[in-house]
Structure 1
């Protein structure tokens, strides 16, 4: 997501601009005054957080589930059963439950990305 600003004035706020750390930012006549933080460059949420898992979830626990579901013709109920019986159930993030985490993993499965994620996770 690109952030393009031109002749912007931001005064007396908490955070003037908040953007992903990898976003290209273009500014012109920018003036930020009286803000607690002028520009906040955020790291993108990790895969674990996007799936609803707590920070610090061991990658090997997700790896075990992905390896178990890396086969054809699974339903979302199959994925829920796999997550429910795995170590991931003890790593649910705030506001997450088995269904939320399983839904995210099932989306990876449906989109054909399980194999890609398997190659990215540390063994």
Structure 2
């Protein structure tokens, strides 16, 4: 490559780099960095950690419930059934929570893990006055 071609290539590259840092009205524009994605588990556990429990459930105990709730909801059961006849009330050997918080936990778990079921869960809980 000739010296002239090299100089022209360098000038073109410099112009391209300068254009990337273009300013708008004298102010430099920057592209905001995207927020890192928050996992389903983290969203659910963050909400679960806001609930008052009688005792202290482990994260693994808490994350065991959403897949079971989804299976029951997918089979056509209601939230009320989950927490009563379904035996899926969020409780462990050494921890538990009040029913209102159990409803919140089901809604939060559904929204985080299975958002396609969230509207139905929310609507059922609103109709019952629980949410």
TM-score normalised by length of structure 1: 0.38
TM-score normalised by length of structure 2: 0.36
